[in-house]
Amino acid sequence: MATATKDLEKKIEALRDKIRHHEYRYYVLDDPEIADAEFDVLMNQLKKLETEHPALVTPDSPTQRVGGKAREGVLKARHSSPMLSLDNTYSQDELRNWERRVHELSGRTDIEYVCELKLDGMSLALHYEDGKLVRGITRGDGTTGEDVTPNVRTVRSIPLSISREKLKEAGIPATFEVRGEMLMPIAAFKKMNEEREQKGLSLFANPRNATAGTVRQLEPSITAQRRLDYFSYALLQNGRTYFERHWKTLSALDTAGFKVNPSRKLVKNFDEIWAFIEQEKTKREKLPYEIDGIVIKVDRTALQEELGYTGKAPRWAIAYKYAARSGITQIEDIIVQVGRTGKLTPVAVLKPVAIGGTTVSRATLHNMDEIERLGVKIGDWVEVERGGDVIPKVTRVVEDKDHPRGHKTFHMPERCPVCEGNVVRTEGEADHRCVNANCPAKLRETILHFASRGVMNIDGMGDALVNQLTERGMVKNVADIYGLTKKDLLSLERFADKSAQNILNEIENSKKLPLERVIYGLGIRFVGERTAQFLAEHFGSMDALMNAKEDELLEVDEVGPRIAQSIAEFFQEPKNRELIERLRKAGLTFAGKKKERGTKLVGKTFVLTGTLPHYSRDEAKKLIEDAGGKVTGSVSKKTDYVVAGDDAGSKLDKAKELGVKVIDEKGMGKLVSGSR
């Protein structure tokens, strides 16, 4: 039996090594050897083996990158040595003076420097013990950062473990610290913002902000979805630089399997430094990530220590920052664009201006809060900045004798400029939105959402068909789908009798789907699949939901003030009620089964913490709610019970502090069943 177990362990570890190799080829070298489908087969084989033999799962297995439980709060951690920021300069003369001071302070003439890209992300320290990743800490204030280890583990360019052989080859000790820059590639940033816009969420301004927000997420699975990347640039042991040269450090990190930016150079004088700066400036626009300058460091570690530090930064390093890509021009008008989610965005119409090799004639003003913050008026002269991450934006108003102020104040319209529907601004939010579900600006995305598999499941109604239907004006809202005829479909490209009939059959079948699907299909902001289900169970009919007051909506599971307000605003729009009546006449399901909850735990509030032996968090929550209880996320004086499992966190401490009763899974079961 022992031999069989050892053989199995070897088989699993060999499979892990193969997966690690392919992760390294794909995420670090950007040079995959196998197709994605082949990689998925390997990963599924490993998952199957580990599921069948859970005792053999190790923390550094590739399967453990994603799916860790949510953190219950922010944990602080001290750095082994300060993570200081660098002094910046935008001037060639200042950079030359820095290099001169390095020579004067050291009394040397033969000094080598390392030039690297200044990546526009956030600094992060990784701690390894016996070659295994044990901790990831954000820069924070330089002395203390946040422990974000569960999130760091989801980033595939960060090794979870490094073999002893690889460490020996690189000359790195078994216990060490790596420092580097976490960032979000531009393509991942754009994709994430598109998805957030479709869901009606606020957009991140740039990849740097998106990276910081992602790394600090309490839910690791969200971090995993956002495809962060990590470039290493320092190696320490016990808080001190390990190698005698920085260039050697970068090479060793590269050998060990860390991702090190290839745009780096060892140089010997100022002229070579400046040549590197100019060379990389020309490549900046084509990089897959954002940079804002070049970092120059003295190569020799002993000389770094000799030069020392000022109060805030090392004397042996400096960051030369590229000038912002901006220009000054005049706002001729401010118009409003309506996005796919109904968000109204004010856009400045500009006198054309050349910025970074591109002619810019429009720039976003984001929302009314931003207009008021900037104090922008039509006719103002403004500075416009163009980055590789977002469309051009207005950054400030320019006011001097050559650039007089404008006098026309902009006001956000009360009616949608596209459909004349109501425009609302939810309390506490910056954005104005059109709430008309029939708004043509939202039409294509609204129909695609309505017809999708998880909603009304109209198979075949994808991009190509929806584009034709909307462009020809055959479908102007989702209710029009149910009025389509075979003749209509046969008039479209690539449609024959059979394909047209298939679509009509799919449309007819969608009428049989339950009430929660119809609610979800309406596209009410913040109402996803799960919330739609809770609404259907609570109200039992579309009519009851339509006529519910906000305080009634707040009684529904997972519906807070913001969601309740959004639902109420949706049903207050007359055009939405007209749409719903048309869907009723088409024969969609408008009645469901109202879920009756138990009464044993009515009025009792629970908080769950830690891992329960027999129930997942969702299963335990459902048990309590089905018995009439309520589950919240934080402990307060109003909490009746805290259900604590293994590895219970700060919520357990809070419960003890407030004198809240703490029970285990068995105690929860007794309360749910009503037994003593």
Instruction: State the catalytic residues.
Output: 118
Identify the bridge partners of residue 606 per DSSP, sorted by sequence position.
631, 641
C-alpha distances in angstroms, 20 versus 17, 60, 63, 161?
5, 10, 11, 9
Burial state string for 53-85 with b = 16 or more CB within 10 A and e = fewer than 16: eeeeeeebbbbebeebeebbeeeebebebebbe
Comparing CA positions, the residue from 180, 321, 164, 152 lying closest to residue 250 is: 180
Which H helix or E strand runs over 101?
Answer: helix 92-106
Give CA–CA dist 230/209, Å, rounded.
15
Cα–Cα distance measured from residue 88 to residue 436, given in angstroms and rounded to the nearest whole number: 49
H-state helical runs in 382-457: 443-451
CA distance 503 to 35: 34
Percentages helix, strand, coil for the chain (3-state, rounded to 5) are: 40, 20, 40
Rounded to the nearest angstrom, the gap between the alpha carbon of residue 360 and the centroid of all alpha carbons in its chain is 29
- The helix (run of H) or strand (run of E) holding residue 100 is helix 92-106
The phi-psi region of residue 500 (left if phi > 0; otherwise alpha if psi is between -120 and 50; otherwise beta) is alpha
Amino acid at 49: L
Task: Determine the Cα–Cα distance for residues 32 and 30; give it in Å rounded to an integer.
Answer: 6
User: Under DSSP, is residue 550 helix (H, G, I), strand (E, B) or coil?
Assistant: helix
Distance CA 203, CA 184 (A): 14
Q: CB within 8 A of 546, min separation 6: which ones?
A: 571, 577, 580
* CA proximity to 365, closest of 341, 388, 339, 337: 337
> What contacts 24+ positions apart, CB below 8 Å, involve 486-491?
none
- Residue 587: what residue type? G
Nearest to 267 by CA among 99, 118, 94, 81: 99
336, 412 contact by CB (below 8 A): yes
User: What is the secondary structure of 347-377 as a DSSP string?
Assistant: EEEEEEEEETTEEEEEEE--SHHHHHHHT--
Residue 65 has which token pair? 């990158």
